[in-house]
């Protein structure tokens, strides 16, 4: 993988406990060489579909198909332009498909795409699927939820405890021909940083602190399994999808690795080979010069006739002459600059060190603690009640094993033991699914 060889990642999706089909989709586009990594880096995408029947499933599948495809094709543009254009093109494709069939009309999907580049991480985002960064004992939400709950919480007065509606999103891909895409970053990368993308099937059941604890403490494959398993432990009313990626030394941002400004707009083509002559400014310059040349004598004469003192007349004439001179020089300079400026609109750029968006939007401490671990362990213990006696005994034994290192303040051992208990429950759920499938 060239420069991307030290990155470790895992992608995982689950139908959940109450859904008949999985409307979540995911994709990973890996670089295949140093030059490709320099130009477009890694790309991770999670989408959560919406729509009756198979519409949501199709919308999310189209998103994770067309976003990487368009991003690859537009990699010659700057990464922010390529990422934004790829989501916009995918939106157009989903909308077109939705309009072509009556049972697909209005279908939509969230889409969160994360590009890991030499300069840092860029996030392109529509909807309420999320992008996180776990660094040390802090988890940061890099994306902003496009949801009614997020907007109401942001504007509710302090102390208000009225209920906030869930699962109502205010922006998605597909329902409209165009979509507004949030761009965030680039966020500099340190070796060991963990980046996590997920659908709301995970974030709705697992607290940010718990996500940060498991993703930051376990290898990506184990972390993804534990997070999906914990969502199952808590009922998993929705599909659950997660991508966990841990950056290595080769992904760490380095000063000077990409020092060129990133264009944020496509350059507008010039309407002619040479800019138009600024006749208006040249006229102002000529007029001011004429006034400056003849004004001094006239003003002095007028002031003398009005019986103003010689000193005041001289001062008035000199001030007028100076003003006209400045106007002449300024107009001539503006005309010259206008004549050499390229036609069309200027290209906005993002210089190294600058950042798009307002993220991180939320930050939480996720250091291991007895309280945080006990919350997870208690959930696993409660889930044992619905199991057969044999599975229940195995799970409760694993729960007891997880509590022992917590009591001894061995939090690293407690996290591993807790993940093992979650894995037992997940295997039981999967075995039950297989049994139901085998029996029709």
Tell whether 363 and 335 lie within a shared domain: no
Tell whether 250 and 292 lie within a shared domain: no
Tokens for 23, please give them: 């409307």
Tell whether 186 and 239 lie within a shared domain: yes
- Let me know if residue 61 belongs to a domain: yes
Tell whether 135 and 189 lie within a shared domain: yes
Residue 362's DSSP bridge partners are 141
Range of the domain at 105: 2-263+353-367
- Let me know if residue 347 belongs to a domain: no
Tokens for 315, please give them: 């001062």
Using alpha carbons only, how large is the chain's radius of gyration in Å?
31
CA distance linking residue 178 with residue 89, whole number of Å: 9
Q: Give the pLDDT confidence of 19-74 residue by residue, as tens digits.
A: 989 999 999 999 988 899 999 999 999 999 998 778 999 999 999 999 999 999 99
Is the CB of residue 97 less than 8 Å from the CB of residue 54?
A: no
Distance of CA 235 to the CA centre of its chain: 28
Tell whether 116 and 199 lie within a shared domain: yes
Query: How would DSSP label each residue in 361-408?
Result: -EEEE----HHHHHHHHHHHHHHGGGS-HHHHHHHHHHHHHHHHHHHT
pLDDT at residue 346 above 60? no
Residue 54: strand, helix, or coil: coil
Give the least confident one: 6-15, 285-294, 348-357, 401-410. 285-294
Mean pLDDT, all residues of the chain = 87
What's the confidence (pLDDT) of residue 357?
Answer: 96
pLDDT at residue 270 above 60? no
* C-alpha pair distances (Å), 131 with each of 94, 97, 145, 333: 22, 27, 10, 49
Domain total for the chain?
3
Tokens for 432, please give them: 């039950």
* C-alpha pair distances (Å), 418 with each of 134, 165, 233, 261, 395: 20, 32, 12, 46, 11
- Let me know if residue 16 belongs to a domain: yes
Give the least confident one: 121-125, 226-230, 260-264, 289-293. 289-293
Residue 22: strand, helix, or coil: coil
Is the CB of residue 234 less than 8 Å from the CB of residue 206?
A: yes
pTM exceeding the 0.85 threshold for the entire prediction: no
pLDDT interval class at 337 (50, 70, 90):
low
- Let me know if residue 97 belongs to a domain: yes
Position of tokens 């094993």? 401
pLDDT interval class at 293 (50, 70, 90):
low
pLDDT interval class at 226 (50, 70, 90):
very high
Tell whether 209 and 324 lie within a shared domain: no
Q: Give the pLDDT confidence of 123-143 residue by residue, as tens digits.
A: 999 999 999 999 999 999 999
Query: How would DSSP label each residue in 218-281?
Result: S-HHHHHHHHHHHHHHTT--S-EEEEEEE--GGGS--TTTT-SPEESSPPPPPSSSSPPP-HHH
Is the CB of residue 199 less than 8 Å from the CB of residue 23?
A: no
Q: Give the pLDDT confidence of 246-257 residue by residue, as tens digits.
A: 999 999 998 776
Tell whether 201 and 91 lie within a shared domain: yes
Percentage of the chain modeled with pLDDT above 70 = 78
Tell whether 362 and 374 lie within a shared domain: no
Tell whether 145 and 110 lie within a shared domain: yes
What single DSSP character describes residue 307?
T
Q: Give the pLDDT confidence of 274-289 residue by residue, as tens digits.
A: 556 566 656 666 676 6
Q: Give the pLDDT confidence of 159-199 residue by residue, as tens digits.
A: 666 666 777 899 999 999 999 999 999 999 999 999 999 99
Percentage of the chain modeled with pLDDT above 90 = 67
- Let me know if residue 346 belongs to a domain: no
Is the CB of residue 225 less than 8 Å from the CB of residue 426?
A: yes
Phi first, then psi, for residue 141 (nearest 5°) are: -90, 115
Spell out where 65-146 has E strands: 108-109, 111-117, 120-126, 130-135, 138-141
CA distance linking residue 344 with residue 36, whole number of Å: 31
- Let me know if residue 118 belongs to a domain: yes
Instruction: Pick the more confident residue, 8 or 305.
Output: 8
Give the least confident one: 233-242, 297-306, 325-334, 356-365. 297-306
- Let me know if residue 387 belongs to a domain: yes
CA distance linking residue 132 with residue 140, whole number of Å: 6
Tell whether 177 and 288 lie within a shared domain: no
Tell whether 318 and 259 lie within a shared domain: no
pLDDT at residue 311 above 70? no
Residue 38: strand, helix, or coil: helix
The most confident of 100-114, 323-337, 403-417, by mean pLDDT: 403-417
What single DSSP character describes residue 102?
G
pLDDT interval class at 103 (50, 70, 90):
confident
Tokens for 17, please give them: 């406990």
Tell whether 85 and 148 lie within a shared domain: yes
Q: Count of residues for the chain? A: 440
Sign, Cα dihedral of 76, 79, 81, 83: positive
Q: Are β-strands 8-14 and 240-246 bridged in parallel, bridged antiparallel, or unpaired? A: antiparallel
Domain CATH code at residue 126: 3.60.40.10
- Let me know if residue 270 belongs to a domain: no
């Amino acid at each position: 993988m060239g420069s991307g060889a030290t990155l470790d990642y895992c992608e995982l999706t689950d139908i959940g406990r109450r859904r008949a089909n999985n409307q979540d989709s995911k994709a990973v586009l890996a670089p295949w060489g140093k030059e490709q990594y320099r130009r477009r880096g890694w790309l991770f995408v999670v989408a959560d579909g919406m729509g009756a029947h198979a519409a949501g499933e199709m919308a999310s599948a189209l998103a994770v198909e067309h976003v990487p495809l368009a991003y690859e094709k537009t990699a010659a543009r700057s990464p922010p332009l390529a990422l934004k254009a790829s989501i916009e093109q995918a939106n157009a494709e989903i909308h077109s498909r939705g309009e072509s069939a009556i049972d697909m009309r209005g279908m939509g999907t969230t889409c969160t795409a994360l590009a890991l580049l030499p300069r840092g991480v860029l996030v392109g985002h529509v909807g309420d699927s999320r992008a996180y960064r776990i660094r040390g004992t802090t988890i940061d939400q890099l994306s902003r939820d496009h949801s009614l709950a997020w907007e109401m919480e942001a504007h509710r007065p302090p102390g208000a405890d009225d209920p906030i509606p869930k699962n109502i999103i205010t922006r998605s891909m597909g329902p409209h021909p165009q979509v507004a895409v949030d761009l965030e970053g680039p966020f500099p990368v340190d070796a060991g940083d963990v980046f996590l993308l997920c659908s709301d099937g995970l974030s709705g059941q697992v607290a940010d602190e718990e996500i940060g604890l498991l993703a930051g403490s376990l290898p990506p494959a184990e972390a993804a399994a534990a997070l999906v398993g914990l969502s199952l432990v808590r009922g998993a009313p929705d599909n659950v999808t997660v991508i966990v990626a841990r950056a290595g030394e080769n992904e760490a941002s380095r000063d000077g690795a990409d020092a060129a400004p990133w264009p944020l707009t496509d350059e507008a083509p010039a309407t002619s080979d040479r800019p138009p002559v600024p006749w208006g400014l040249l006229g102002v310059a000529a007029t001011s010069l004429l006034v400056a040349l003849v004004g001094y004598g006239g003003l002095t004469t007028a002031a003398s006739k009005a019986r103003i003192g010689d000193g005041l007349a001289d001062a008035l004439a000199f001030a007028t002459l100076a003003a006209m001179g400045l106007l002449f020089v300024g107009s001539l300079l503006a005309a010259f600059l206008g004549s050499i400026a390229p036609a069309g609109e200027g290209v906005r750029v993002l210089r190294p060190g600058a950042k798009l968006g307002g993220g991180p939007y939320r930050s939480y401490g996720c250091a291991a603690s007895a309280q945080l671990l006990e919350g997870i362990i208690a959930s696993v213990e409660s889930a044992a009640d619905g199991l057969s006696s044999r599975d229940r005994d195995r799970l409760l034994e694993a729960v007891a094993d997880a509590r022992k290192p917590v009591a001894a303040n061995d939090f690293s051992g407690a996290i591993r033991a807790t993940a093992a208990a979650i894995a037992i429950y997940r295997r039981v759920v999967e075995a039950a699914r297989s049994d139901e499938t085998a029996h029709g």
